[in-house]
Structure 1
Amino acid sequence: MNAPTPFPNSAPTQIAFHRTELNAILSLYGRFVAAGEWRDYGISHLKEVAVFSVFRRTAEHPMYRIEKRPSLRMKQGQYVVIGMEGRILKRGNDLRQVLRVLERKLIRAID
């Protein structure tokens, strides 16, 4: 007889970035820091979304927000990059593909 699973319908209490996701984001972040474009970041792990915010200066609003919303995985894609003005720049289920919208900005910043 199979033992019952404790709390079978319990959802995680908060959404978080996995180590591989953070590696991809921090790799991009490091390249922007080296180029002198970005200076600070913040990470929020909330009930429905995990957010990586990028700042030019600490006291400002974030320049970009990289969000993970697993509830949208089957609809629009769980990853999204949002600009300072709130406009969605790229959305999808492949984080590296979504981050490419920011990599294009890095190429222009270095030129």
Structure 2
Amino acid sequence: MEQGVIAWLSGRTAETTAPASAQPAPRRIFFSRRELDRILSLYGRMVAAGEWRDYAMADGVEVAVFAVHRRSSEQPLYRIEKRPALAKRQGAFAVIAAGGRILKRGHDLDAVLAVLERKLLKLVDGE
């Protein structure tokens, strides 16, 4: 008999008869709704101030990235990253400048985004 028929007769499903070497697809990292709302709120205020004009998002196996651009053809000014693997050590969130320098890293997204909030305050105070 075929393997599918044997599985059906024994009451096993196709999932239980899959080869042991089959690995599930790795989980992708995303920003949660609350995290994304917080980032987009800051993004909207920076766009209104004329500093940022475009953004890009990427998900991955190890990291989720929200990159902000002055122009879409340029390298990102800042990258906001979420790396859950670092949550118990340095913190899952980081703001990274264009040259790769880490401006702020931490466990709380609001505290990490504060480094960019200060830049917004300087823009408003300077006018």
- TM normalised by structure 1 equals 0.89
Aligned residues: 104
The code of the aligned residue for 1:80 comes to A
Moved over 6 A (4+): none
Give the root-mean-square deviation of aligned CA atoms. 1.7
Provide structure 1 residue ranges, at least 5 long, that are not aligned to the other structure: 1-5
Match of 1:86 among 85, 97, 100: 100
Pairing 1:1-111 to 2, within 5 Å after superposition = 13-110=27-124, 111=126
> Tell me, what secondary structure is at the counterpart of 2:121?
helix
Instruction: From the CA coordinates, give the structure whose radius of gyration is larger.
Output: 2
**Once the two structures are aligned, what percentage of the paired residues are identical?**
61
Shift of 1:108: 1.1
Shift of 1:12: 5.1
- TM normalised by structure 2 equals 0.78
Provide structure 2 residue ranges, at least 5 long, that are not aligned to the other structure: 1-15, 17-23
Deviations 1:14-71 (A, max 9, x none): 1000000000000000000000000000000011000000000000000000000000
